[in-house]
Amino acid sequence: MESPKLRYYDASAWRPVAPRIKPAAHSEFLRTGRISRHRDDWFPQERRYLTYEEVATRTGKKLETAGETTHERLNAFHHDIQFPKVLFHRTFPERPHLGYCHVTAASTYMAQRSVSWSFYICNFFAELGESEQFFEHINAERRRMYFAVAIEGEPGAAKMRINRGIRGNGVLFQTSNPHDALRNVLMLGAPDSAFRAILQKM
């Protein structure tokens, strides 16, 4: 059965009117001969529903702000570990309040070869699948997830795909803990094993 279509409204543009005792508008007219111009004497302001495009735009701005902050924290850790800023986001067409943001991409020597990878943040939690449906069992109540995947191709490009030859499914790490995410990305960018050993103790 097809799930019902979600509706979104602008909470900042709507406030319930607090109930108060006041004369009816028609009584005031009979008593004074004037029509009240006070908004509260009529109907409460109606909710303004948002289009999916408006919701997606708002979600995207929040995601990229979070991505910007995360990238700044990564590059502030140590001058020997610096990552390029490669910010872009995606939202889900049928659930535009949910999405993910690409933060950075680099390459790391593992499995006796150089492996390219990308780091993302999400405003939901999910299982990372091994099929074309990458996000499975999405949980919107858990409002954060960080993960890195091995990739082939340029980040964001149409031909980019997950390199599932690395660790079976291409996932380098997945966590909902921002501290663990920071440490894992730094370890991927560490210049040598001695640096990684220090980061492991964080």
Q: How many C-beta atoms surround the C-beta of residue 77 within 10 A?
A: 17
**76-91, pLDDT tens digit by residue?**
999 999 999 999 999 9
Q: Which residues of the chain have pLDDT under 70?
A: 1-4, 12-46, 131-132
Enumerate residues 6+ apart whose C-beta is below 8 A from 124: 98, 138, 139, 140, 142, 143, 145
Pick from 98, 101, 104, 102: nearest CA to 126 = 98
Q: Are strands 161-162 and 49-50 parallel, antiparallel or unpaired?
A: unpaired
Angle made by CA atoms 6, 8, 14, in degrees to the nearest 5 = 150
Largest pairwise CA distance in the chain: 90
**Residue 46: predicted pLDDT:** 64
pTM across the whole model:
0.78
**Residue 41: predicted pLDDT:** 47
Across the chain, mean pLDDT equals 83
- Alpha-carbon distance of 34 to 28, in angstroms, equals 7
- Alpha-carbon distance of 143 to 100, in angstroms, equals 11
